[in-house]
């Protein structure tokens, strides 16, 4: 699910750097003794001159950070410098939880409007609901002009066990309540959806590979298997990667003992080969892995292992092409570097890493635009292949290295630039915010309490929603042409689902007309 949101979250938004965390681990502080490289000596002398002799006062910390950034920029596109102030945000997204009260919100008329109460967090347990306005935290007034986003977040986040009293206005019953709660861990699930798509067909979507992914996956897969699943759709679209270990653990559930999973090669040329152990939970049923151009890193490890072992079918578009492994290393004063230390290879020996030029990271990340221009997004015949990078699977299928995982079944992107813009709008915060405001404005009109009924029936008040959305776009100067009202209504219905119910229901609604899903079901029916 691709959702671009500028809402202020008490959850820390997933950084683009998630895709760079593949295989990373935290190393202990190391002290380097007697390191006397001439270049380092030059830098040390320069810093001494600047601090002791330069005519003006300078911020040496800022200078050092700039030097580090410049050095890292000369490396591969996935090595990244992480200043101390960014470290917590990245760590939380990969740990699978954060500490706070657990709400998603945005500022509406200088008031904190709760868009979503996060499942499993203190706010849910205390009884906060979507649409609530948070007026005060203890004695601090939050509904006032001039409050910065950081001010608000700092008042609501905090260590587990730290108490806070929230004063909340609930519009639906026009009353003010006080909630006494303790800040605590708030889950950040990496699996957004898991359900039976139809009889015998299970579906599961992984958004990233964090520390908690395998635990989430094991529970969800067991539930699907217990429902007599014999066809499994694993959705890795838009998944930028993350840690290697959960990817290995997940593959172990699919592959029989001894089957290769991944090969990792360090700078010493030594290769570490991982193979599956016994007793996988789903070793025999059919597997269909959905990927696209935003599936990267650990997602490609999973897709590559499934493909190279002839274990299932890869459906979608060519993946991102990231085959580099990072380790997280401390620099001191809270700063860190995620440094590329190895390459990974799929079981047949393929390197998935696409070529890169360290001098231009912007060009590297403009790959999708190049794929549109080359025609690859519409026709798989335009996917570049190199015969010298051809590999053969155990069943004789040809697969290629050098730039992502090419799917077995291709789903073209036939969108025009206008279609892409409209699709972006449909999936963006524009519709999300509109839905919140519309539900809030007509709070006694829209009563969606029955989940099953809401999912199975058409969205009521269709004409009202369309008219209100057109008016909202005009008022906010959004250039959009509504050519497909059904698509708009589906987006509105999906965002109502995530605001009032959960992300799982959101995905179920979005998937109803999804071309990847429809094509996969069609392929199943051919079997």
Q: Over its length of 527 residues, how does the chain's per-residue pLDDT go in tens digits? A: 444 333 333 332 233 344 445 444 444 444 444 455 677 788 888 888 888 888 998 888 888 888 888 888 889 999 999 888 787 777 777 787 888 999 988 888 888 899 999 999 999 999 999 999 999 999 888 876 666 777 788 888 888 999 999 999 998 889 999 999 999 999 889 999 999 999 999 999 999 999 999 999 999 999 999 999 999 999 999 999 999 999 999 999 999 999 999 999 998 888 999 999 978 999 999 999 999 999 999 999 999 999 999 999 999 999 999 999 998 888 888 889 999 999 999 999 999 899 888 667 888 888 888 898 899 999 999 998 887 789 999 999 999 888 899 999 999 987 766 666 666 766 668 888 999 999 998 887 888 878 888 998 889 899 999 999 989 988 888 767 777 788 889 989 999 999 988 899 999 999 998 999 999 999 999 87
Last residue in a domain, options 382, 414, 446: 414
19 domain-assigned: no
Q: What does the alpha-carbon distance between residue 19 and residue 284 come to, in Å, rounded to a whole number?
A: 30
The answer to whether the CB of 521 falls within 8 A of the CB of 289 is: no
Boundary (domain end) residue, out of 365, 385, 414: 414
- Residue 51 inside a domain? The answer is no
Residue that is last in its domain, among 389, 414, 439: 414
Q: Do both 283 and 199 map to the same domain?
A: yes
Paired with 266 in beta bridges are 342
Q: Which of 392, 324, 312 lies closest to 358, judged by CA?
A: 324
Rounded to whole angstroms, the Cα distance separating 120 from 212 reads 14
Determine how many CB atoms are found less than 10 A away from the CB of residue 93.
23
Cα dihedral 374→375→380→381 (10° resolution): -70
Count up the domains in the chain and report the number. Answer: 3
Are 394 and 452 contained in the same domain? no
State the Cα–Cα distance between residues 221 and 200, nearest whole angstrom: 13
Structure tokens at 184: 């605590």
Q: What CATH number has the domain bearing residue 377?
A: 3.90.226.10
Backbone angles phi, psi at 20, to 5 degrees: -100, 0
User: Where do runs of H (alpha helix) occur along 97-146?
Assistant: 122-126
Query: Which bin fits 230, alpha (ψ -120 to 50), beta or left (φ > 0)?
Result: alpha
Q: Are residues 427 and 300 in the same domain?
A: no
381 within some domain: yes
Q: Is residue 1 one of the residues assigned to a domain? A: no
Contact by Cβ (8 Å): 241, 322: yes
Judgement on whether residues 370 and 406 belong to the same structural domain of the protein:
yes
Q: Are residues 267 and 239 in the same domain?
A: yes
Cα dist from 318 to 227, 264, 292, 369, 515, whole Å: 32, 22, 6, 13, 16
Residue 17 lies in a domain: no
Torsion, Cα of 276, 346, 2, 422 (10° steps): -150
Q: How far is it, in rounded angstroms, from Cα 138 to Cα 115? A: 21
Are 283 and 330 in the same domain?
yes
**pTM of the predicted protein model:** 0.87
Name the nearest CA neighbour of 349 among 404, 308, 381, 315.
308
Alpha carbon distance, N-terminus to C-terminus of the chain? 28
Q: Give a three-class secondary structure readout of 12-54.
A: CCCCHHHHHCCCCCECCCCCCCCCCCHHHHHHHHHHHHHHHCC
Distance between CA 354 and CA 365 in Å, rounded? Answer: 11
Rounded to whole angstroms, the Cα distance separating 376 from 379 reads: 5
Distance CA 403, CA 385 (A): 9
Same domain, yes or no, for 259 and 182?
no
- Residue that is written with structure tokens 């979503």 in the block: 116
| 290 and 366 part of one domain | yes
3-state DSSP assignment of residue 91: helix
- H or E stretch including 311? none
Give CA–CA dist 463/416, Å, rounded.
27
CA 115/CA 137 separation, integer angstroms: 18
Query: Are 312 and 237 within 8 A, CB to CB?
Result: no
Q: Is residue 284 part of a domain?
A: yes
* Residue 265 included in any domain: yes
Pair 374, 389 in one domain: yes
Instruction: Specify if 18 maps to a domain.
Output: no
Question: 435 and 292 share a domain?
Answer: no
Domain containing residue 250? 191-414
């Amino acid at each position: 699910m691709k959702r671009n949101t500028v809402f202020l979250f008490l959850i820390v938004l997933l950084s683009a750097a998630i895709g760079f965390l593949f295989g990373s681990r935290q190393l202990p502080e190391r002290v380097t003794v007697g390191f006397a490289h001439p270049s380092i000596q030059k830098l040390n002398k320069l810093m001494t001159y600047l601090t002791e002799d330069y005519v003006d006062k300078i911020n040496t910390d800022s200078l050092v950070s700039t030097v580090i950034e410049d050095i890292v920029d000369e490396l591969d596109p996935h090595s990244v410098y992480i200043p101390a102030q960014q470290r917590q945000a990245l760590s939380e997204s990969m740990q699978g939880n954060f500490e706070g009260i657990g709400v998603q919100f945005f500022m509406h008329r200088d008031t904190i409007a709760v868009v979503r109460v996060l499942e499993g967090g203190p706010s849910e347990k205390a009884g906060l609901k979507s649409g609530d306005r948070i007026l005060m935290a203890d004695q601090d007034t939050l509904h006032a002009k001039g409050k910065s986003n950081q001010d608000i977040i700092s008042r609501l986040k905090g260590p587990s066990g730290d108490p806070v009293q929230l004063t909340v206005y609930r519009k639906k019953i026009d009353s003010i309540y006080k909630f006494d709660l303790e800040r605590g861990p708030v889950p950040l699930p990496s699996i957004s959806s898991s359900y039976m798509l139809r009889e015998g067909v299970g579906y599961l979507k992984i958004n990233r590979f964090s520390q908690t992914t395998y635990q989430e996956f094991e529970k969800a897969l067991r539930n699907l298997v217990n429902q007599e699943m014999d066809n499994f759709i694993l959705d890795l679209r838009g998944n930028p990667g993350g840690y290697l270990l959960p990817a290995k653990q997940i593959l172990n559930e699919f592959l029989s003992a001894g089957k290769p999973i991944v090969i990792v090669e360090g700078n010493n040329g030594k290769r570490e080969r991982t193979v599956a152990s016994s007793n996988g939970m789903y070793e025999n049923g059919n597997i269909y892995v959905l990927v696209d151009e935003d599936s990267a890193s650990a997602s490609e490890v999973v897709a590559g292992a499934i493909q190279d072992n002839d274990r299932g079918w890869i459906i979608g578009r060519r993946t991102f092409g990231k085959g580099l492994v990072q380790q997280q290393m401390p620099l001191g004063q809270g700063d860190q570097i995620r440094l590329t230390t190895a390459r990974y290879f799929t079981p047949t020996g393929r390197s998935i890493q696409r070529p890169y030029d360290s001098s231009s990271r912007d060009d590297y990340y403009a790959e999708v635009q190049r794929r549109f221009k080359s025609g690859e997004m519409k026709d798989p015949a335009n996917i570049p292949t190199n015969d010298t990078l051809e590999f053969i699977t155990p069943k004789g299928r040809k697969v290629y290295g050098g730039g992502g995982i090419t799917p077995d079944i291709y789903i073209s992107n036939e969108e025009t630039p206008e279609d892409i813009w409209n699709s972006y709008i449909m999936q963006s915060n524009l519709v999300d915010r509109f839905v919140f405001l519309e539900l809030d404005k007509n709070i006694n009109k829209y009563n969606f309490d029955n989940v099953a009924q809401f999912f199975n029936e058409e969205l009521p008040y269709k004409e009202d929603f369309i008219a209100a959305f057109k008016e909202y776009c005009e008022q906010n100067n959004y250039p959009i042409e509504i050519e497909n009202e059904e698509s708009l209504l589906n987006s509105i219905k999906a965002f109502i689902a995530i605001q009032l119910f959960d992300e799982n229901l959101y995905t179920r609604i979005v998937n109803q007309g999804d071309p990847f899903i429809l094509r996969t079901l069609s392929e199943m029916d051919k079997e």
